[in-house]
A and B are shown apart, each in its own frame.
Chain A
Amino acid sequence: MLMGLFNDWIVVVLMMTGLYIVIAHGNLIKKIIGLIIFQTSVFIFYISMAKVDGGTAPILADDILLYSNPLPHVLILTAIVVGIATTALALSLVVRIEEAYGSIEEDEIQRKDNQSQEENKEQA
């Protein structure tokens, strides 16, 4: 059972690792990395689903009869592009946050927000 479901075990391990990194780390870049690992586990899940025993890559060729299922491959191409766009957006947000707050640690940022809120209260 272990070797037959090897791919599924990898999916579970990566998924949990990714989620743990997002939750446990305060560094913004590490959170993004955790998110990417989490998304990658989903990609592996879809691709493993697509594999047909004895089938080759789903590209039409004359003398090949058995192909893997091309639909999940297509879905994952879309999902990979979505993941890239999300990562790019997240990284540019981190650059802006670094410029605005001077830090990319979550607790530092929250401390600075609380500080400025208290200053606003004193002014008002």
Chain B
Amino acid sequence: MIAHLPILQVIIPLMAAPICLILKRARLVWLFSLIVSGLAFCISILLLQQVMTSGVISYELGGWQAPWGIEYRIDKLNTFLLLIITAISTLVLFAAQTSIEKEIPKNKHTYFYVLYLLSLTGLLGIVATGDAFNVFVFLEISSLSAYALIAMGKDRQALWASYQYLIMGTIGATFILIGIGLMYQMTGTLNMEDLSKRLPEVAQTRTVFTAFSFVIVGVCLKLAMFPLHLWLPNAYAYAPSIVTVFFAASATKVAIYLLIRFTFSVFGLSFSFTTVPLQTLFMVLGLVGIFVASTSAIYQKNIKRLFAYSSIAQIGYMMVGFSISTVAGLTATLLHLFNHALMKSVIFLALGAVMYRLGSVQLNSFQGLGRQMPLTMTGIVIGGLSLIGVPLTVGFISKWYLLTALLERGWWPVAVLILLGSLLAIIYLWRVVEVAYFKEPLVNTVPVKEAPISFLIPIWTLIIANIYFGIDTRLSVQLAQAAAKSLFGISP
């Protein structure tokens, strides 16, 4: 059983999805999904322990030897991401049933859980696999279930947002497919490990250069890097609240993982950063993304959309960290993957609770909410402080590592720009805090109760995690550093 953990990580949610259709009653399906997600979380912890003690796990599907068969390759980077995705998924599912009772019609609740588990499968599959085409298959599994989940939102804008995301997402995935095809044409293999060995000899051909470009553009579309971010604000704003929490915390992280995996492990450091001017490009686009997205966030009336733009800005930070291309820079990016998942999930869960009680996430309906729903609004405040990078929160840790990595490289103008971007975060957070805490509630509305316990448990777990991992950074920093060093080929 222990030997089969890599494939079980992906197969268990996959098999659980159709079983949900057999168990018809919504509460039972919810409990079942929660158990499956918890099981996936336990498997990811076991895999983490195994990787930290005995190194890379290589699992051959069906006993077929790589590179002819599909190989699942769990190394330090994978296992870090598997941990994040399964942890967030389990926490989110706690609040799922309560949240969807008010947002999705009753006869669709079972389908919601089926799609959720399929989406979880897709994301876990992308992370766990060591085969390039397998990445495409699981990418499409997670994307298709994402489109369907987003379309389940209450307003009709959810349908339009889902359609837009579908068109852009399919183009992105097809670009990745073209890139994989070109790579196969030049090397004859789809296994990532084998590709990394065979690509260097053909690296100077136009085909490989084109393959690299297609893959990078396709992945950047999926990770919503500026200027390919147009699908994200609407998709996050109009999706059901639980869907937004899950995707904000996991989908873009997986895309960044893909970017790191393709540039470091498949194409190799020297090709990715010297042959192609990726550094400058990503740094510029990352910085522009931070400023444009943070500025757009300030003018939003829909709070979910505001924090969706904030997500795009945070992805900009991760791109800047990635563009530094040193161990410190990559550590900062990986650390931010972990911390941003914590930050955004607490914010969007709190917004989900507000949506549950109020039925709306418009800025003007937030008036006086600070006093009526204090426990929930603390989630938004702590998450917001993390976004700005106040000390004692996780956000500070990521910013600190990013700034030290930049200064180590001597790029202090970029460091100044990063700090300016944080100031913009203060502005949009203040807009929410001011309306919630410093304005009187509207006169003719029913007084609002605090969020139900099924929301408060995950929100407060995440709040405590935000502060705990901001103070005791050993786990996250060790994992991120070990993963970054292993990618650079330095033995830890």
A residues adjacent to B (C-beta < 8 A)? 19, 22, 28, 31, 35, 38-39, 42, 45-46, 49, 71-72, 75, 78-79, 82, 85-86, 89-90, 93-94, 96-97, 100-101, 109, 113, 120-121, 124
Is there an interface contact between B137 and A82, defined as CB atoms closer than 8 Å? yes
Interface string of B315-355 (1 = CB under 8 A from A): 00000000000000000000000000000000000000000
The smallest C-beta distance from B174 to any residue of chain A, in angstroms, reads 6
Is there an interface contact between B174 and A38, defined as CB atoms closer than 8 Å? yes
The smallest C-beta distance from B283 to any residue of chain A, in angstroms, reads 28
Asked if B427 is at the interface (CB within 8 A of a chain A CB), the reply is no
Chain A contact residues, majority secondary structure: helix
A71 to B178, CA, bound (A): 15
Residues of B within 8 A of A79 (CB): 136, 177
Chain B contact residues, majority secondary structure: helix
Is there an interface contact between A97 and B144, defined as CB atoms closer than 8 Å? no
Is there an interface contact between A86 and B166, defined as CB atoms closer than 8 Å? yes
Residues of A within 8 A of B181 (CB): 42, 45-46, 49, 72, 75
Asked if B140 is at the interface (CB within 8 A of a chain A CB), the reply is yes
Is there an interface contact between A38 and B171, defined as CB atoms closer than 8 Å? yes
Residues of B within 8 A of A120 (CB): 362
Is there an interface contact between A35 and B170, defined as CB atoms closer than 8 Å? yes
Residues of A within 8 A of B167 (CB): 22, 31, 35, 90
B side interface size, CB within 8 A: 28
- A45-B178, A71-B184 are known; give 11 further A-B pairs, CB within 8 A: A31-B167, A72-B181, A85-B140, A86-B144, A86-B166, A89-B147, A90-B166, A93-B163, A96-B159, A121-B301, A124-B362
The smallest C-beta distance from A25 to any residue of chain B, in angstroms, reads 11
User: Which residue of B has the minimal Cβ distance to A110?
Assistant: B160
Is there an interface contact between B163 and A94, defined as CB atoms closer than 8 Å? yes
The smallest C-beta distance from A115 to any residue of chain B, in angstroms, reads 12
User: Which residue of A has the minimal Cβ distance to B185?
Assistant: A49
User: Which residue of B has the minimal Cβ distance to A94?
Assistant: B163
Asked if B479 is at the interface (CB within 8 A of a chain A CB), the reply is no
Residue in A19, A45, A85 whose CB lies within 8 Å of B144: A85
B residues adjacent to A (C-beta < 8 A)? 133, 136-137, 140, 144, 147-148, 151, 156-157, 159-160, 162-163, 166-167, 170-171, 174, 177-178, 181, 184-185, 190, 301, 362, 364
User: Which residue of B has the minimal Cβ distance to A117?
Assistant: B301
A73 to B174, CA, bound (A): 16
Is there an interface contact between A19 and B364, defined as CB atoms closer than 8 Å? no
User: Known contacts being A89-B148, A93-B162, A93-B163, is A35 close to B185, with CB within 8 Å?
Assistant: no
Is there an interface contact between B133 and A75, defined as CB atoms closer than 8 Å? yes
The smallest C-beta distance from B75 to any residue of chain A, in angstroms, reads 25
Is there an interface contact between B178 and A97, defined as CB atoms closer than 8 Å? no
Is there an interface contact between B157 and A93, defined as CB atoms closer than 8 Å? no
Is there an interface contact between A49 and B184, defined as CB atoms closer than 8 Å? yes
Is there an interface contact between B178 and A86, defined as CB atoms closer than 8 Å? no
Residues of B within 8 A of A85 (CB): 140, 144
The smallest C-beta distance from B7 to any residue of chain A, in angstroms, reads 18
21 residue pairs of the A-B complex, CB under 8 angstroms, read A19-B171, A28-B163, A42-B178, A45-B181, A49-B181, A75-B133, A78-B133, A82-B140, A86-B166, A89-B148, A89-B166, A90-B166, A90-B167, A93-B147, A93-B162, A93-B166, A96-B151, A100-B156, A121-B301, A124-B362, A124-B364
Residues of A within 8 A of B185 (CB): 49
Is there an interface contact between A78 and B178, defined as CB atoms closer than 8 Å? no
User: Which residue of B has the minimal Cβ distance to A85?
Assistant: B144
User: Which residue of B has the minimal Cβ distance to A109?
Assistant: B160
Residues of B within 8 A of A72 (CB): 181, 184
A38 to B163, CA, bound (A): 17
Is there an interface contact between B157 and A113, defined as CB atoms closer than 8 Å? yes
The smallest C-beta distance from A56 to any residue of chain B, in angstroms, reads 20
Residues of A within 8 A of B157 (CB): 113
Q: Which of B133, B137, B156, B301 has the most chain A CB atoms closer than 10 A to its own CB?
A: B156
